[in-house]
Amino acid sequence: MRSRPISISEARPLRPCALLASTQPLSAVGGGLRDFAALGEGEGSSAILSFKADTVVTPPFGRGDILIQRLKQLLRILTLPFKAATIVQENLPEKHVSTLPQFENQVRNTHLQVAIISRPSQQNLLLKILLLLSFTLLCRLQLFGAVHPVPLDPKTDSAKCIECHEDKSKGKAVHSAIAMGCLSCHEIRATKETTRVKLTTATPYKVCLTCHSDKDATQIKGKVHPPAVRDCMTCHDPHTSANKNQLLKATSGEKKDNLCLTCHTQGLNVPTGGSRHAALDMGCDTCHTTHKTGERGKREFDFHLTKDAPALCLDCHDVKEDKLVKAHQGQPFEKADCLSCHDPHQSKSPKLMQAFLHNPFESKSCDTCHQPAKDGKVVLTAATAKEVCVTCHSDKAEQIEKAKVQHPGAAGDCTDCHDPHAGRSPGFPKPDSVSVCLGCHNDQAEQGKKVHAHQPAFEQGCATCHDPHGNSNEHLLRVAKVNTLCLECHGPDAKPKKLESEHLVAIFDGTVKLPEDYFRKVPIIPLKFGAGHPVERHPVSDLVDPNNPSKVLKTMTCLTCHQPHASAQPDLLVKDQANNQAFCKSCHKGLIGSGTASGTGGM
């Protein structure tokens, strides 16, 4: 049977209602579908759907999707803000809307059903309204331009602008663009009634890039200072300033006067008994060059240093100074990495000691591992560093030797991977918890160059998920199953243990320690019975035969969809794919629009 097109006549709107959506293919018998209405959930509000009279909808039969041939005018539904009419499939659990009595007979024989998606709570609605208003106010000047108080010709020159805005052209540090003319960054739009002045691009950042293209964060492979990623005016005045480089404030001084301390807190909250680096009073740019970037993973570029340590430290500190030689108990330190033992900003300990200290070093028991230096060289208490280490850490030596899955890197000297004195993270990996592995694992170093990196891999370190000393699991994973590993952080039952005295949290039964704010950045997946990601009821583990639970129909883990380390696209999807329907169709061959739909998706 072939149904004829449906003509939907115009109807008048009534009071607001919740969002309406069709859940089945449209068809009609008789004179065509006209008006129907819906009741808002829990309230008596209602509305009537309204189409223009020339709208024609042809409902194909035998398919689960709905084709709309032509819809010239917008569907007019008086709805709550931020909602739109949508078409959904019939098997979704929405609530159906009954027709008004006067139209019941007309619609009784149709396949049209209407669903209500529950309106948001009043609190959420208010929050959305406030966010929209805030966004509108922020964007208004850029998108529509500020209304100019007097009419202007669109070709007005800079001299005219300076008559009123002379302050924008004078100061200790004037932006070089001022000499290029106001219209190099601004444009004038004039009508008979209004003159508006706006930027030549949609955002200030894009204006800056027209000249400063070398600062384009999307084209820089290394680590970019976060404010420079989105908004230059976080730090710079676009016209003039009393500070070099048109900075809003100086890079030194007290918090209220220091631009860097607007975001950073180094040196502000030194614990009792701790220490603070005097170089902070000289200004942050003494050691840092904010826009300096380069190869990711190198400290000089990751922290935007003027030069790397120890060369940077030696600009101020003389290694031959008697006070320094005595502090290091006569051990040679001229070529040592100062930052392996010292924090460059502040510390909870005296002498700017790093956050994590090896017990013999912390207690100044240097003779536990060292003999007096000879000919300017370090002399250990045993023939090799590993022999020194195993006198205390014999359990690790046994683990390395007997592990079913061994790590070749752990077979060498302990000091190949660990600093023997101190470090920024537990275990004292050197030079840091990420780079310590990348020196050997070049393939993962290449992964780290991608735009989107997994936090544990390239911020916390490989040892978050892998046991570097060996165990019985494939790839040295902390646990046997991939999903168990991922859900330790991302699962709804994730319960990291707080170590308040250390300002850390622990996972995997305390074997891995992370910064106390680590989980602020971790998305939690709302799984129930092994399903619920990326959408409700979507499985994340093996699909089994319901008639034979021991039979796996399709193997599935988190790695079916995601890469564990990094991706060129958000969400770390496999093969650097974008998060869209094309990705989903790689498994779900029967998705609507794929050309093979039969009403159900395939796996």
Instruction: Flag whether pLDDT at 42 surpasses 50.
Output: no
> Residue 70: its pLDDT value, please?
33
> Residue 312: its pLDDT value, please?
95
Question: What backbone torsions phi and psi does residue 260 show, to the nearest 5 degrees?
Answer: -65, -35
Instruction: Flag whether pLDDT at 549 surpasses 70.
Output: yes
d(Cα 240, Cα 176) in Å, to the nearest integer?
9
> Residue 83: its pLDDT value, please?
34
Q: What is the DSSP string of 37-57?
A: EEEPTTS--EEE-B--TT-EE
d(Cα 561, Cα 539) in Å, to the nearest integer?
11
CA distances (Å), origin 458, targets 222, 314, 450, 565: 13, 29, 11, 8
Average pLDDT over residues 117-128: 59
Query: Could you give the 3-state DSSP secondary structure of residue 416?
Result: helix
Query: Which pLDDT tens digit goes with each residue over 50-83?
Result: 333 333 333 433 333 333 333 333 333 333 333 3
Instruction: Flag whether pLDDT at 115 surpasses 50.
Output: no
Structure token pair of residue 470: 């060996």
> Residue 230: its pLDDT value, please?
85
Query: Which pLDDT tens digit goes with each residue over 379-438?
Result: 999 999 999 999 999 999 999 999 999 999 999 999 999 999 999 999 999 989 999 999
Average pLDDT over residues 159-167: 90
d(Cα 95, Cα 244) in Å, to the nearest integer?
63
> Residue 233: its pLDDT value, please?
93
Q: Are 507 and 522 in contact (CB under 8 A)?
A: no
Q: How many C-beta neighbours within 10 Å does residue 516 have?
A: 15
Cα 49 from chain centre: 41
Average pLDDT over residues 242-264: 94
Looking from the CA of 164 toward its CB, the CA atoms found within 13 Å total 8
Instruction: Flag whether pLDDT at 208 surpasses 50.
Output: yes
Instruction: Flag whether pLDDT at 118 surpasses 80.
Output: no
> Residue 145: its pLDDT value, please?
67
**Helices then strands, each counted (H, E), the chain:** 15, 26
User: Helical H runs in 210-283?
Assistant: 227-230
Instruction: Flag whether pLDDT at 364 surpasses 70.
Output: yes
Query: Could you give the 3-state DSSP secondary structure of residue 166?
Result: helix
Q: Which segment, 182-196, 558-572, 588-602, is predicted with the most confidence on average?
A: 558-572
> Residue 64: its pLDDT value, please?
34
> Residue 516: its pLDDT value, please?
92
Residue 565's pLDDT band, with cuts at 50, 70 and 90, is very high
Which candidate, 84, 122, 91, 77, places its Cα nearest to that of 24?
Answer: 91
Instruction: Flag whether pLDDT at 325 surpasses 80.
Output: yes
d(Cα 539, Cα 10) in Å, to the nearest integer?
44
> Residue 24: its pLDDT value, please?
37
Average pLDDT over residues 526-550: 91
Residue 588's pLDDT band, with cuts at 50, 70 and 90, is confident
Query: Which pLDDT tens digit goes with each residue over 448-489?
Result: 888 899 999 999 999 999 999 999 999 999 999 999 999 999
> Residue 122: its pLDDT value, please?
62
Residue 593's pLDDT band, with cuts at 50, 70 and 90, is low
Q: How many C-beta neighbours within 10 Å does residue 56 have?
A: 15
> Residue 135: its pLDDT value, please?
65
> Taking the CA atoms of the chain, what radius of gyration do you get in angstroms?
33
Residue 575's pLDDT band, with cuts at 50, 70 and 90, is very high
Instruction: Flag whether pLDDT at 238 surpasses 80.
Output: yes
d(Cα 205, Cα 230) in Å, to the nearest integer?
6
d(Cα 603, Cα 582) in Å, to the nearest integer?
14
> Residue 61: its pLDDT value, please?
37
Instruction: Flag whether pLDDT at 16 surpasses 70.
Output: no
Cα 327 from chain centre: 43
Average pLDDT over residues 351-378: 93
Among 120-124, 133-137, 342-346, 518-522, the minimum mean pLDDT is found in 120-124
Which candidate, 250, 320, 318, places its Cα nearest to that of 286?
Answer: 250
Query: Which pLDDT tens digit goes with each residue over 85-106?
Result: 333 333 333 333 333 333 333 3
Among 46-60, 109-123, 129-143, 248-262, the minimum mean pLDDT is found in 46-60
User: Mean pLDDT for the chain?
Assistant: 79
> Residue 344: its pLDDT value, please?
96
Instruction: Flag whether pLDDT at 505 surpasses 50.
Output: yes
Among 69-73, 248-252, 338-342, 561-565, the minimum mean pLDDT is found in 69-73
Going by their DSSP bridges, the two strands 86-87 and 19-22 should be labelled as parallel
> Residue 93: its pLDDT value, please?
38
Instruction: Flag whether pLDDT at 116 surpasses 70.
Output: no
Report long-range pairs for 227-231 (Cβ below 8 Å, ≥24 apart).
Answer: 227/263, 228/290, 228/291, 230/205, 231/203, 231/204, 231/205
User: Helical H runs in 425-475?
Assistant: 435-438, 442-447, 455
Residue 311's pLDDT band, with cuts at 50, 70 and 90, is very high
Instruction: Flag whether pLDDT at 149 surpasses 80.
Output: yes
